[in-house]
Amino acid sequence: MKTLKLVSICVAGAISMMASQALASDVAKGKKLAKKCKACHTMNEGGKNRLGPNLYNVLGRAAGAVEGYKYSKAMKASGLTWDDVTFTEYITKPKKVVKGTKMSFKGFKKAAQREDLLAYFKTLRSGVQEQASTGNVKAGIKVAEKHCAVCHTFEKGGKVLFGPNLFDIAGKPAAAIDGFKYSEALKSSGLTWTDKNLVGFLSDPEGFLKGTTARFPGLKSAKEKSNVLAYLKSLK
């Protein structure tokens, strides 16, 4: 028994160490990728604006908010906040997210690169700034009413319609609502509705999970996805 307990402790320690190393590796890779950004941006606290604005503390900040930088009219009018969702969408294809942006960089095509870069940018923040998803709940309600309410209910104990009730879905395993007949694809997916998975599904359900019975074409706007995510996370 003592030997078994010792082995379990060692395995747990090894897993913990591997997880820590993986996280550090992600940040390190992101830092290397960020060298591409340094052609136009500074990233240190109090750094100067160059061809682009200083990017320190960018996550959680409203778009177009760095003092002394002359933004495009499109960026100033975007109403975006640089939360995880919007930041990731923007670095995928800047000109698609903000039409009329001055940013000429074409974007990072690989999902792994975007995740690594996001991990690095999360280190570029002051201690007092919170790491948060800053979508607007009220705006998310409007988007959900327009695009989702035909198939889903959102209140506690709500009925199952063409799709399952979505109350308290965030953070829960997929295909877990009693009374709804899920697709085999979703039942066997092993998914948990993390922020990343919710956004992926909202973007393109069939592309995200082949075989899903959801026929929603997906939300194309990063702002709308961020707002719906904030709304779904508020349903507790």
- Domains, the chain, ordered by start: 19-121 (1.10.760.10), 137-234 (1.10.760.10)
Q: What is the pLDDT of residues 208-233, one digit of tens each?
A: 999 999 989 999 888 899 899 999 99
Q: What is the pLDDT of residues 74-103, one digit of tens each?
A: 998 888 889 888 999 999 999 999 999 999
pLDDT at 89 (0 to 100): 93
Residue 148 has pLDDT above 50, yes or no: yes
pTM for the structure as a whole? 0.58
Q: What is the pLDDT of residues 17-57, one digit of tens each?
A: 444 444 444 899 999 999 999 999 999 999 999 999 999 99
pLDDT at 195 (0 to 100): 86
Q: How large a percentage of the chain has pLDDT more than 90?
A: 70
pLDDT at 79 (0 to 100): 85
Output 18 or 134, whichever has higher pLDDT: 134
pLDDT at 134 (0 to 100): 66
Q: What is the pLDDT of residues 155-202, one digit of tens each?
A: 999 999 999 999 999 999 999 998 899 999 999 999 999 888 898 899
SS (H, E, C) the chain: CHHHHHHHHHHHHHHHHHHHHHHHHHHHHHHHHHHHHHHCCCCCCCCCCCCCCCCCCCCCCECCCCCCCCCCHHHHCCCCECCHHHHHHHHHCHHHHCCCCCCCCCCCCCHHHHHHHHHHHCCCCCCCCCCCCCCCHHHHHHHHHHHCCCCCCCCCCCCCCCCCCCCCCCCCECCCCCCCCCCHHHHCCCCECCHHHHHHHHHCHHHHCCCCCCCCCCCCCHHHHHHHHHHHHHCC
